[in-house]
Amino acid sequence: MATKSKKKQVSHSKPSNVSKKKPVVHKQHGAVLTGALVIMALHGIFAAYLYSTGAPVTSRPWIISLMVVHSLANIVAAVAIFYWKKWGLYVYAASTILALVLGLISIGVWSVFYMILPFVILGWILRSKMQYFE
């Protein structure tokens, strides 16, 4: 019996996944988005400081603690959104829901406007930049 050795054909071309390059996208924040994120971060810092040091007297002190968490989450979300991280949007949405629930428990219906308005404004600013998020 004669055995024939099979030679493996070697391809000298590049693999198909290497030749496909993603186009370079220049992610522009713009002045309005940058300003909104700076205001969001500064508001979070200021609110966290005020809630933790000069907390108002309330019958539910746990609400103040959770508002500090909300403020710190807004700072984290602002930084993440600045770096185009999609999880930053989720953190901001969760933080807004937390603040909304706490506002409804402590203040009442009027808190809905105050808590939802910044979220809607940021969503409007980001409406044309969603493809930049990773």
Q: Is the pLDDT of residue 7 over 70?
A: no
Three-state secondary-structure class, residue 61: helix
Contact 81, 89 (CB under 8 A): yes
pLDDT, position 3: 55
pLDDT tens for 49-69 read 988 887 667 778 888 889 999
- Average per-residue pLDDT in the chain? 83
The two three-digit tokens of residue 124, written as one number: 């409007």
Q: Is 80's pLDDT higher than 90?
A: yes
Task: Report the pLDDT value the prediction gives residue 53, as an integer from 0 to 100.
Answer: 85
Is residue 4 over pLDDT 70? Answer: no
H-state helical runs in the chain: 16-19, 30-53, 61-82, 86-106, 110-126
pLDDT at position 12 over 70: no
Kindly indicate the confidence band of residue 19, based on its pLDDT and cuts at 50, 70 and 90: low
Q: Which two tokens stand for residue 132?
A: 């930049």
92-126 confidence digits (pLDDT tens): 999 999 999 998 988 888 888 888 899 999 989 98
| pTM for the model | 0.76
